Amino acid sequence: MSANIKQQYHDVIHTKLEDAQLRKNLLSVMDTLKGNRKKLISTRFLDWEVLREKGKEIKQKNLSKLDVLLETFESNARKNGFIVHWAKNSEEANNIVLEVMQKNHITKILKGKSMASEETHLNAFLKAKGLEPIETDLGEIIIQLIDEPPVHIVAPAIHKNRYQIGEIFHQKLGAPLESEPEKLNEIARTHLRREFQEFKLGLSGVNFAIANEGAIWLLENEGNGRMSTTACDIHIAFCGIEKVIESFEDASTLNALLIPSATGAAVTCYNNIITSPRKEGELDGPKEVHIILLDNNRSQMLSDSHYYRALSCIRCGTCLNHCPVYDKIGGHAYLSTYPGPIGEVISPQLFGLNKFSPMLDLCSLCGRCSEVCPVKIPLAELIRDLRSERVGQGRKSVVGTDSSTQNPAEIKAMSQFATLATSPNKWRFALTMANIFAPLGKIFAPFTPLLKNWVKYREFPKINGNLHKKVSQMQGVIYE
């Protein structure tokens, strides 16, 4: 890992911490989402924890036989008339889209929300080829207009308030300056209607791919996803291989967990279940549907008996909503498609630990993410274990694991601390010295290299007097 990567993280985090408007916007939305979720769970569910346990079991069951389910899905999907593609990595997935566009002489594609296509950087790829990708999700429209990536995996533009969005529409679309949500929605709707009237190719993500039926299930709240998948001649669906689920019954249980966790609502406005392209005699739907099954190191994750649990994620985003670090810096500070706690777990595994290990520091290990995850992924535990991978003490099975992530000075310091903390006499002596010199440390901290960075954003820790005596007294009580 280069020093340049570390510096990029340092710079962007520093910038976001100084952005008071960003923190205000995030806090407002996070509080709303958390409040809605808590209220819904307490009023609409008899036993939410039992449902969480059921969701965990379903995901682990499906992941345990994912190889079989993928083959079953492919077979049934082909029987239904779908064209199924396998993509080992981002390059292959993007090239499949390019080939479909070139074969059909299409230069423009309208996109429903798809984090998998964000993962492969499809938009940048198509633009480099002279083609035009157009986002249709409201949040995605906003950030595309200002050339930013999503800040959240569910709500891409929550870092912008309605006044800022009004300015964006005014400057980029030439619309009247508005700030009321209804009028902002009208501006976006009017803008997109022109595009929907003449487009030939639409793209979507996939929430659940049902193996037994060979069908795909999409969830949305705006209707743009339905337009992107039914009003076009050709539909392409991006699907991470972990989205394949055995049955509609399993998917329904996961759906009951996903929506309350994501938005605090009981159901989404639109449930789009697509079972085939347009059949003879039907008036709606595309004539051709392509499904891209994306691996991109997911098979590597699945092969690890410990880290595979991260593939249980159903992309609800509730771990981001409850994270005390995320709501201070936002998703862009993670420098990854997937931010927040789930991003810290899957980004190093998908894209390489040597590229994304600094994001593992964006966690206080408070455990909130693990407590709220609807399928009980032990996120805090996995983040801690990935930190072990970073210093060469873990399982050494993560993509991109090499010596570049290790800091010799840090390793030496922790080794010395371990020696100190496991020796009663040395530990008591260290506490005594800390008690004596702590007042001097507070004075000189702003000028001391190691302490300088600490006190820049934190208060100097208070050292309570006679700690060594208190420890001795506690040990005496325990021994008695």
pLDDT digits (tens, 9 = 90+) for 34-68: 999 999 999 999 999 999 999 999 999 999 999 99
Q: Compute CA distances 62 → 89, 189, 254, 296, 309, whole Å.
A: 22, 39, 12, 19, 11
Which of residues 380, 405, 430 is at a domain's end?
405
In a domain, 176, yes or no: no
Residues 368 and 226 in one domain: no
Let me know the angle formed at the C-alpha of 237 by 234 and 240, rounded to the nearest 5 degrees.
165
CATH code for the domain of 273: 3.40.50.10420
Task: Give residue 434's pLDDT.
Answer: 81
Residues 390 and 447 in one domain: no
The answer on 465 and 356 residing in a single domain is no
290 shares its domain with 437: no
- Helix/strand/coil for 234: strand
Classify residue 479: in a domain, yes or no: no
What pLDDT is attached to residue 469? 53
Contact 271/219 with Cβ under 8 angstroms? Answer: yes
* DSSP secondary structure code for residue 367 in this structure: -
Whether 400 and 429 share a structural domain:
no
182 vs 465, residue with greater confidence = 182
The pLDDT value recorded for residue 480 is 43
Looking at residue 423, its pLDDT comes to 92
205 and 99 in a single domain? The answer is: yes
Phi, psi of 114 (to 5 degrees): -155, 105
Whether 410 maps to a domain, the answer reads: no
Residue 370 and residue 228 share a domain: no
100 domain-assigned: yes
The confidence band for 441, taking pLDDT boundaries of 50, 70 and 90, is confident
Per the model's pLDDT, the better-predicted residue between 351 and 472 turns out to be: 351
397 and 458 part of one domain: no
Mean of the pLDDT values across residues 339-364? 95
Residue 118, in any domain of the structure: yes
d(CA 435, CA 465): 6
Q: Please determine, for residue 472, whether its predicted confidence score (pLDDT) is greater than 60.
A: no
pLDDT for the residue numbered 430 = 86
The answer to the question of residue 447 being in a domain is yes
Residues 87-118: pLDDT tens digits?
A: 999 999 999 999 999 999 999 999 999 999 99
Does residue 393 belong to any structural domain of this protein?
yes
Domain boundary among 353, 381, 405: 405
Q: Does one domain contain both 442 and 399?
A: no
Q: Compute the average pLDDT of residues 143-148.
A: 96
- The answer on 227 and 90 residing in a single domain is yes
| 279 and 337 part of one domain | no
Output the pLDDT for position 11: 94
What per-residue confidence (pLDDT) applies to 470? 52
This prediction has a pTM of 0.89
Domain boundary among 296, 331, 361: 296
Mean pLDDT throughout 350-354?
Answer: 94
Q: Three-state secondary structure along 272-338?
A: EEECCCCCCCCCCCCCEEEEEEECCCHHHHHCCCCHHHHHHCCCCCHHHHCCCCHHHHCHHHHCCCC
Residues facing residue 84 across a β-bridge: 291
Domain count within the chain: 3
Closest listed residue to residue 227, CA positions, set 196, 190, 201: 196
> Mean pLDDT over all residues of the chain?
92
Q: How many CA atoms lie within 13 A of 199 on its CB side?
A: 27
Distance, in Å, from the CA atom of 313 to the CA atom of 376, rounded to the nearest integer, reads 9
Same domain, residue pair 218 and 118: yes
> Does 178 reside within a domain?
no
State residue 459's pLDDT score. 79
- Structural domain boundaries enclosing 66: 45-127+200-296
Q: Between residues 464 and 183, which one has the greater pLDDT?
A: 183
